[in-house]
């Protein structure tokens, strides 16, 4: 890669002929022209108005905007983008460049998966959450009124550019939300993350995710560990009455998962305390919002998409984090009491 960026970290997601590199570092967005796929003549840059970052693909490029907000993650926006691309004459040999947070990379990745039966895309995630999670691993898709991410495809990007420079202007809540996902990696083999600076930490998180995705691209099993802390987080988000961002809800969910694991004798009190230290070390919440009662939460756990054949939770142990089924209801309730 020729670029002005100082020594970016490069992490490979090893998926055979669909392998790709994730470049992490200050200024790596300026490397875009060197990672666009060979043979692409034009670039459709898909972004949101509030993103505000310009990228230069080195190709003839058109900017297509989707509306701000999570509501843009819907089929109507996918149709709009496909029609605009068709009117503008984009073909399968061109490239999409997704510039934005998780909404943009999920929608643009899905458009790339379905437009002309599939074209290449490069992601330039501009949020911490996007850089350590959403933009890596090829999960693309949109929400339906019936639930989140119900329509989508596994469609891997051609390259990902995680520019740490753009994080400097993220609103503090958005940064904290990303830190909730970052906190998760401390328990997925990222014990040494504390000692790293932000770019190194993002690269280390990406490396952990890349290894998991390479082992189980389509979430037949192991990839579920990337949902560590997410069962309670999704329940809190679905209840919808609380001003918690995704990563903040994940932070509470991580501590909850630790309490469940302790109640099942899988980990000891020191390990639970370590979960609390990591989460609070990022300035994230570790307690349940008041007014969410246990019965409502248990009902919401049952609706989580990982609830197959009884409730499955991703839980810690001396062997590491793994999906566990079933988790007794009494344990779920005991652990809820512990985080109130
Ligand atoms: N965000 C979880 C995954 O990519 O599998």
Q: Which helix (H) or strand (E) holds 95?
A: strand 95-100
Distance between CA atoms of residues 191 and 186, nearest Å: 5
pLDDT band at 309 (very low <50, low <70, confident <90, very high): low
Is 60 exceeded by the pLDDT of residue 63?
Answer: yes
pLDDT band at 304 (very low <50, low <70, confident <90, very high): low
**Three-class SS of residue 301?**
helix
**pLDDT, average across residues 190-202:** 95
Is 50 exceeded by the pLDDT of residue 261?
Answer: yes
Could you read off the pLDDT of 268-292 as tens digits, one per residue?
999 999 999 999 999 999 999 887 8
Distance between CA atoms of residues 71 and 94, nearest Å: 27
Query: Is 219 labeled as catalytic in the residue annotation?
Result: yes
Could you read off the pLDDT of 73-99 as tens digits, one per residue?
999 999 999 999 999 999 999 999 999
137 touches ligand 1 (CB under 6 Å)? yes
Distance between CA atoms of residues 164 and 29, nearest Å: 9
Q: Which of 184, 201, 230, 275 is catalytic?
A: 230
Could you read off the pLDDT of 213-249 as tens digits, one per residue?
999 999 999 999 999 999 999 999 888 777 899 999 9
Is 60 exceeded by the pLDDT of residue 2?
Answer: no
Is 50 exceeded by the pLDDT of residue 308?
Answer: no
Query: Is 181 labeled as catalytic in the residue annotation?
Result: yes
**pLDDT, average across residues 116-140:** 98
State which of 226, 230, 304 you would mutate to test the pocket of ligand 1, scoring each by most atoms of that ligand within 8 A of its C-beta. Answer: 226
Query: Is 230 labeled as catalytic in the residue annotation?
Result: yes
Q: Which helix (H) or strand (E) holds 248?
A: helix 246-263
Q: Which of 9, 120, 186, 209 is catalytic?
A: 209
Percentage of the chain beyond pLDDT 70 is: 96
Query: Is 333 labeled as catalytic in the residue annotation?
Result: no
223 touches ligand 1 (CB under 6 Å)? yes
At 3 the pLDDT is 45
Higher pLDDT, 204 or 6: 204
**pLDDT, average across residues 309-324:** 91
**pLDDT, average across residues 134-153:** 94
At 146 the pLDDT is 82
pLDDT band at 58 (very low <50, low <70, confident <90, very high): very high
Q: Which of 219, 266, 271, 276 is catalytic?
A: 219
Distance 246 CA to ligand 1 centre (A): 13
Query: Is 80 labeled as catalytic in the residue annotation?
Result: no
CA angle 291, 176, 184 (to 5 degrees): 85
When the pLDDT of each residue in the chain is averaged and rounded to a whole number, the result is 94
Backbone angles phi, psi at 201, to 5 degrees: -65, -40
The number of helices, as runs of H, and strands, as runs of E, in the chain is 11, 11
At 310 the pLDDT is 72
Look at ligand 1, atom 2, and give the residue with the nearest C-alpha: 226
Cα end-to-end distance, the chain, whole Å: 50
Backbone angles phi, psi at 25, to 5 degrees: 160, 170
**pLDDT, average across residues 15-24:** 98
Q: How does strand 139-144 pair with strand 313-315?
A: unpaired
- The pTM assigned to this predicted structure is 0.94
């Amino acid at each position: 890669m020729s670029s002005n960026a100082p020594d970016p970290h490069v992490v490979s997601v090893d998926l055979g002929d669909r392998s790709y590199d994730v470049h992490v570092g200050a200024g790596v967005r300026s490397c875009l022209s060197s990672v666009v796929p060979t043979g692409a003549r034009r670039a459709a840059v898909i972004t949101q108005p509030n993103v505000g970052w310009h990228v230069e693909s080195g190709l003839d490029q058109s900017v297509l905007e989707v509306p701000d907000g999570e509501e843009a993650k819907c089929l109507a926006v996918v149709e709009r983008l496909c029609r605009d691309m068709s009117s503008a004459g984009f073909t399968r040999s061109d490239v999409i460049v997704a510039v934005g947070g998780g909404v943009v990379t999920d929608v643009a990745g899905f458009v790339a998966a379905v437009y002309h039966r599939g074209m290449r895309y490069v992601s330039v995630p501009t949020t911490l959450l996007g850089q350590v999670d959403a933009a890596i691993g090829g999960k693309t898709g949109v929400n339906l009124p019936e639930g989140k991410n119900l329509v989508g495809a596994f469609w891997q990007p051609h390259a990902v550019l995680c520019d740490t420079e753009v994080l400097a202007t993220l609103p503090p809540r958005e940064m904290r939300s990303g830190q909730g996902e970052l906190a998760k990696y401390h328990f997925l083999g990222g014990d040494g993350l504390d000692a790293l600076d932000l770019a190194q930490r993002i690269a280390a998180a990406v490396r952990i995710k890349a290894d998991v995705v390479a082992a189980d691209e389509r979430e037949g099993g192991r990839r579920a560990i990337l949902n560590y802390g997410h069962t309670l987080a999704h329940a809190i988000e679905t209840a919808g009455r609380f001003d918690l961002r995704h990563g903040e809800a994940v932070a509470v969910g991580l501590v909850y998962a630790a309490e469940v694991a302790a109640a099942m004798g899988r980990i000891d009190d020191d390990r639970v305390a370590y979960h609390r230290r990591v989460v609070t070390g990022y300035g994230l919440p570790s307690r349940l919002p008041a007014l969410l009662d246990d019965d409502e939460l248990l009902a919401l756990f049952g609706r989580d998409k990982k609830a197959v054949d009884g409730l499955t939770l991703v839980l810690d142990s001396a062997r590491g984090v793994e999906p566990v089924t079933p988790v007794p209801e009494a344990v779920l309730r005991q652990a809820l009491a512990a985080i109130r």
